Structure 1
Amino acid sequence: MKNFTLLTCLFCNFLLFSQTNFNSDSYNVSLNDIETNVFAADTTANALVIYEEGNSYVDKNEYDLRTELKHKIKILKREGFEKANVAIYLYNNDKRKEQIKNIFAATYNLEAGKIKITKLDAKNIFTEKYNENYTVVKFTLPNIKEGSVITYSYTKTSPFMFNYYGWKFQDDIPKLYSDYRASIPANWDYNIKLVGYKPLDINTSEVEKNCLEGARGASAGCSLMHYAMKDIPAFKEENYMTSKSNYLARIDYELKTFQGFDGVINHYTKTWETVDDELRKEPNIGRQLGKSLKLEDFLDASIISETNALKKAESIYWFVQDNYTWNEEFNIFKDVSIKDIINNKSGNVSAINILLHNLLLEAGIDVKPVLLSTRNSGFATKIFPVISDFNYLIVQATINGKPYLLDATDKYLSFGDLPFRCLNGYGRILDFKKGSEWIDIAANNLSTKLCKVELNLSDSGNITGKVTDQSTGYHALNSKKQYFPNKESYVDQLQNNFPHIEITNHIVDNEDKKSPNFVETYDVTYEDNLIADKIYLNPFLFKFFNENPFKLQERTYPIDFGYKDVYFYSMKLNFGETFSIIEAPKDYVISLPNNSGQLLFTSTIQNNSVIVSLKFNFKETIYGPEFYPYLKEFMNKIVDIQTNSLILLQKKQ
């Protein structure tokens, strides 16, 4: 029944989206477009794209790329007025530039029962220099009000065929219909990439013969492609996601080859074999990886003579970690110098990890560099090499047949762990002899957060007890980064989080900042808990989640936690002979679909004690968008249990 209810809600949302009074079939503005001022499918939307279309083709005479664009947008709220500000960016170089022509824009309002059209005056169109390679054309639609419908159209011409016009179906406001047509002559061969998780409603292709003519009777056919999406929800960013560029529904083009009518072929997209050879010779990567080092200049004799390969690799890793500092820069193909980092004790990502690579290699460890793109940077393209997609370099050391991914930029990482920013699915391992290949990049171990609380209730109603908080993996890494830089501040913050509880005797069991575990214990004291002759106690001193991180009506992209984890909380209250239990929390069990996560909440009364425990886990690193309503309900229950659970005790007469 619960699953049926969720599916019913999703179906109702679909009906709300698709059944509107707006004219989403054409660019023409209808009376309904102006009169309808509510978008039931997303009442939070401040504006709505009713209709948009684009048409890209190569001009038969000028051989440049033309793109004709039309947009029809409904302004629903004052916050949507910004959609009336249009900025069009035009690329240029020393010889050629993109241009805009045929700009037409108008605002439609309903005044005194009649449609009033206010057209954009050409004198209000401005062109500004944006930077060295871009100018921007700006205009603002006139007479904007809540309820206005705006339309604007223009033609963009570009001599840069390597940069075929891509189409963005999804944006930060919802769209009812988005249509794009592309005509590509056979002379130009593009890699075409559809990004996002929403399927196309129209995806067709046909061939037009002799669409482009050259000298001496030469001609080429064109691929005519038609793409469209309907009822596209606004893209809204939320917790547990990587870069939004990974998910925005769109079509991208990358020029692979161009063949002129004279038969000459120019290659633009390279193969990985070519890229590997270029990287091998590249001064900031390949040449630095080839720098030989004398271990005696860096390491103690005990490390050099170590016969256990794993222990030797760990010692070298810790040496680099402790003695060289990351300067927070990601420019991995610029200013990389082994000589400079040795002298300055600081450098960018490539410098630090190439130094680690070279020391491991000199010590006889099988090690290779790995290029990757961080979570905030987006996924690296897999179907063809795009070196600019990569912004990070780590190393893989293989010891006794087991691979370890290493990054020495973070002084709190354990051997074999990576910073959270690196958990972005995959990377490209470089082997200049055998060729590069893709490898998976994921957290090796489960991250855990365990909290055990034991409390004693005195006859006078005071509560004292002990807390043991243990974490591993990325939960431990977060705690270490808070604790080690300023231990006193850490304890002060802990106390500030619980103003009604006194915290004393705080102890961290392991003062090794590289340990994969972080364990802390401390004593707690509650006072004056009696209200009349009763004690009301929320068993959760600490909450793993204070609020539900999932708040959207619908999420069209995956929920990416980055790693698998488990949470466990246990509280035992010894209440002695003076009090009796009047009320205890009820047990609860819930599972995510496919057994991909489980929540178990129990309370047990044993003699003069009550034991409450909560355990929940996420067995997957990434959940598809279809899991979103289930995860939302799952989190709601976690927050509700932690916030509203109650133990009620009464003093015996």
Structure 2
Amino acid sequence: MKFILLIISLLTVGATATVAQDKVPVKFGKVSPGDFAPKVYSIDSNANAVVIADVGSTEIVGNTKGWFSLEFKRYRRVHILNKNGYDISNVTISLYTSGDDEEKLENLKAVTYNLEDGKVKETKLDTKSGVFKNNVSKKWTERKFTFPDVREGSIIEYEYRIKSDFLFNLRSWEFQGSIPRLWSEYTVTIPQFINYVFMMQGYMSPAVRENKAGQQAFSVTASGGTGASERYNFTANTQTHRWVFKDVPSLKEESFTSTLDNHIAKINFQLSEYREPLTYRNVMGTWTQLAKDLLEADYFGEGLRKDNNWLGEYIGDLVKAGGSKKEIAQRIYKYVQDNYTCTSHNGLTISQNLRNIAKSRKGNVAEINLLLTAMLRYADIKADPVIMSTKSNGYTYSLYPLINLFNYVICEARLDEKTAFLDASWPRLGFGKLTFDCYNGHAREISADAPPLQFVADSLMERKVTSVFIINDEQGKLIGSLQQTPGYYESYRLRNRLAEKGKEQFFTEAAKTLHSDAVIQDPFIDSLDMLDMPVKVQYKFALNSEKEDIIYFNPMFGEGWKENPFKAAERLYPVEMPFAFDETYLLRMDVPAGYEVDELPKQLVVKLNEYDEGVFEYRITNSNGVISLRSRLRLSRANFQPDEYELLREFFSMVVTKHNEQIVFKKKK
């Protein structure tokens, strides 16, 4: 299964061949006793509920405001199989709003069906008292309702229509979700004078895909200045697009997933152009135009264009201290990081000017990093903002300037012919470092040329080295030492953990991981305040285990992989690790005094594939009473496609098996 990304102009001339002429298998209100018969569906025997049909359509119609509106219709039927499927009976419908204008929800009907004594009983939703409004933001409201009389085995269905004067808000459609769907269909009809692009994503192909040319009559009424109105009637060519997906499995979140929204079968739309007979207008614009607009906007970059001499009272001394551009930038970065609090790591715009941000010493991620950009410019360092979308927010498209897909701002600084990407919104994040959530592909520099940037997880290599040395002391007890240099991101997590819980708790937990009877001595963490560098952990320890006849001993000392992160038998979307990694573990250990080796794990060397993109080595020997172990696990890629999943799962299965094998010592006779 490969990822499908279709960017298609909706002004296609002519019709595309139809794969099949299938029709929706159910109709609103037509429920028979036989519809309740299935207790389990073959598409997913463990499903708590199954969508029988989910059907939507959008067309553009003339309105009485001298323009055009979107008319969206939806019908959905679901079979609830057990109590764990009750959540599907809670429905939320989102409506866009702007000032006094709001999308209108009309003709809502919702019915619950139950089988009682062989007959179908229906319970209708009271749409006057049972539908509630919720204001989400300035731009969005919600209508919420819950189906009445829902039980195990209930069938629920609803339909509604939304009229919208916001042509840019052509509704997207999800063909896939958290429960299986037997039938999911969407139809869109577009007239020749409006152009959209649409983007289809996912790893399934539709069972039906139709494109049909046609004609549609339009009636537009425009009000005159004296109260009179004028009506325009005309006919225009249209293009109707229809997609049907059948037997769509649910998509469940598994380990190493950015966000499921990146991977479900889905189609999104973007208004692109108005065309004749309308006045031509490029609605979507270009990246350079978007960058220009952002830099001139008071909610983003207007403050960067000013001289901002007032910044001298905040960072004047840092600039006067001199040094290279990098040294000055490092001082300014540390000043912002240490003195400003980020109130939200999800933000693309500012709600206050830079001077107020500087005074309040707090702001969202956009406000913090735009202030950093202004400070660097004050210090005569070339700096520009960069917009991106974090992994948890989803992908963006480099071809199209869709600003609503972005949610994060960082700073790009040019320092002595080198470029550093800076994010001062996180405490303890090193200079020139970004959290791995930022490595989500396409980003965009907001400057005159607006060049694209790429931040990919495959470019991050996390290296970790652990060395353990164990000997018998004079009393015959095992004592040893551990030295560890974790990778940068593990070091970053460790710094945050220590700031929250302290060193004492950290080393107490480390002793439990090391061995149930371990006692840690002389613990020390080096480079803790050198935020750009990995830390170094070291300590001595004693193992106070009882002298049993047989000792089972895991030589990985808690550093091995304890379970396979890839549990599912198959995976329908990519594996997205935060980084590539290279972990080396070294052990030199005396055989416990008075014991001998009875069993030793076998050595193993295995490669992930023929391209040497992954290797696992487990080399262990026993020579003259000394056990030596070298375990190395390396993956040179962070992302793997669905067709590579089985190979990756088997590879980690061997790693986990080997890392959990034990040395068996038996007491000498």
The corresponding residue for 1:436 is 450
2:429 aligned with 1:413: yes
In structure 2, distance between residues paired with 1:563 and 1:554: 22
The corresponding residue for 1:9 is none
Q: How big is the shift at 1:52?
A: 2.4
Distance 1:614 1:490, change over 3 A: same
Q: How big is the shift at 1:537?
A: 0.7
SS in 2 for 1:45: coil
SS in 2 for 1:589: strand
Alpha carbons 1:166, 1:252 under 8 Å: kept: yes
Match of 1:50 among 46, 49, 52: 52
User: Cα RMSD between the aligned structures?
Assistant: 3.2
2:141 aligned with 1:134: yes
Q: Which runs of 5+ in 1 are unaligned?
A: 1-22
* Residues 351-374 of structure 1, C-alpha deviations (whole Å, 9 max, x = no match): 332333234334443322211122
The corresponding residue for 1:376 is 392
In structure 1, distance between residues paired with 2:218 and 2:167: 15
Moved more, 617-626 or 52-61: 52-61
Give the structure-1-normalised TM-score. Answer: 0.86
In structure 2, distance between residues paired with 1:187 and 1:224: 14
Distance 1:233 1:525, change over 3 A: same
How do residues 169-180 of structure 1 correspond to structure 2 at under 5 angstroms? 169-180=175-186
SS in 2 for 1:439: strand
Alpha carbons 1:185, 1:212 under 8 Å: kept: no
The corresponding residue for 2:170 is 164
* Residues 578-634 of structure 1, C-alpha deviations (whole Å, 9 max, x = no match): 432110112233333454322222211222111223221221122222233333333
SS in 2 for 1:645: coil
The corresponding residue for 1:586 is 602
* Residues 105-130 of structure 1, C-alpha deviations (whole Å, 9 max, x = no match): 35253x55x45342526578723222
In structure 2, distance between residues paired with 1:504 and 1:188: 73
Alpha carbons 1:105, 1:153 under 8 Å: kept: no
SS in 1 for 2:204: coil
Moved more, 559-568 or 489-498: 489-498
The corresponding residue for 1:5 is none
Match of 2:524 among 495, 507, 518: 507
Q: How big is the shift at 1:384?
A: 2.6
2:287 aligned with 1:272: yes
Alpha carbons 1:198, 1:556 under 8 Å: kept: no
In structure 2, distance between residues paired with 1:447 and 1:136: 46
The corresponding residue for 1:184 is 190
How do residues 131-530 of structure 1 correspond to structure 2 at under 5 angstroms? 131=135, 134-136=141-143, 138-140=145-147, 142=149, 144-212=150-218, 218-259=234-275, 261=277, 263-265=278-280, 267-292=282-307, 293=309, 298=315, 300=317, 304-306=321-323, 308-328=324-344, 330-432=346-448, 435-442=449-456, 445-457=460-472, 462-484=477-499, 486-497=502-513, 499-530=516-547
SS in 1 for 2:167: coil
Q: How big is the shift at 1:150?
A: 3.4
Q: Which runs of 5+ in 2 are unaligned?
A: 1-22, 221-230
How do residues 14-25 of structure 1 correspond to structure 2 at under 5 angstroms? 25=25
Moved more, 295-304 or 222-231: 295-304
Distance 1:636 1:461, change over 3 A: farther
Letter in 2 for 1:51: A
* Residues 270-314 of structure 1, C-alpha deviations (whole Å, 9 max, x = no match): 3323322222212243222234347696255797432x4444443
Give the structure-2-normalised TM-score. Answer: 0.84
The corresponding residue for 1:626 is 643
Q: How big is the shift at 1:77?
A: 1.9
In structure 2, distance between residues paired with 1:328 and 1:527: 48
The corresponding residue for 1:38 is 40
In structure 1, distance between residues paired with 2:528 and 2:184: 57
SS in 1 for 2:171: coil
Q: How big is the shift at 1:172?
A: 0.8
Letter in 2 for 1:479: L
The corresponding residue for 1:8 is none
SS in 1 for 2:479: strand
Q: How big is the shift at 1:30?
A: 7.0
Alpha carbons 1:52, 1:72 under 8 Å: kept: yes
In structure 2, distance between residues paired with 1:192 and 1:619: 34
2:89 aligned with 1:73: no
Letter in 1 for 2:44: D
Distance 1:163 1:515, change over 3 A: closer
SS in 2 for 1:279: helix
The corresponding residue for 1:572 is 588
SS in 2 for 1:530: coil
Distance 1:376 1:605, change over 3 A: same
Alpha carbons 2:598, 2:666 under 8 Å: kept: yes
2:647 aligned with 1:613: no
In structure 2, distance between residues paired with 1:357 and 1:116: 66
Alpha carbons 2:318, 2:331 under 8 Å: kept: no
SS in 2 for 1:218: strand
Alpha carbons 1:211, 1:221 under 8 Å: kept: no
Alpha carbons 1:211, 1:222 under 8 Å: kept: no
Alpha carbons 2:526, 2:537 under 8 Å: kept: yes
* Residues 205-244 of structure 1, C-alpha deviations (whole Å, 9 max, x = no match): 1211345466666321111101122222212123322233
Q: How big is the shift at 1:376?
A: 2.0
Alpha carbons 2:472, 2:593 under 8 Å: kept: no
Alpha carbons 2:618, 2:629 under 8 Å: kept: yes
The corresponding residue for 2:572 is 556
In structure 1, distance between residues paired with 2:57 and 2:412: 46
Distance 1:632 1:276, change over 3 A: same
Alpha carbons 2:217, 2:233 under 8 Å: kept: no
Query: Relative contact order, CA 8 A, sep 6+: which one is greater?
Result: 2
The corresponding residue for 2:227 is none
Distance 1:348 1:61, change over 3 A: closer
* Residues 554-580 of structure 1, C-alpha deviations (whole Å, 9 max, x = no match): 332222222211222222221277432
Alpha carbons 1:288, 1:336 under 8 Å: kept: no
The corresponding residue for 2:15 is none
Alpha carbons 1:285, 1:336 under 8 Å: kept: no
Letter in 2 for 1:528: S
Q: How big is the shift at 1:173?
A: 0.3
Q: How big is the shift at 1:47?
A: 0.7
Q: How big is the shift at 1:200?
A: 2.7
The corresponding residue for 1:17 is none
In structure 2, distance between residues paired with 1:525 and 1:495: 10
Distance 1:461 1:196, change over 3 A: farther
Distance 1:42 1:553, change over 3 A: farther
In structure 1, distance between residues paired with 2:305 and 2:52: 57
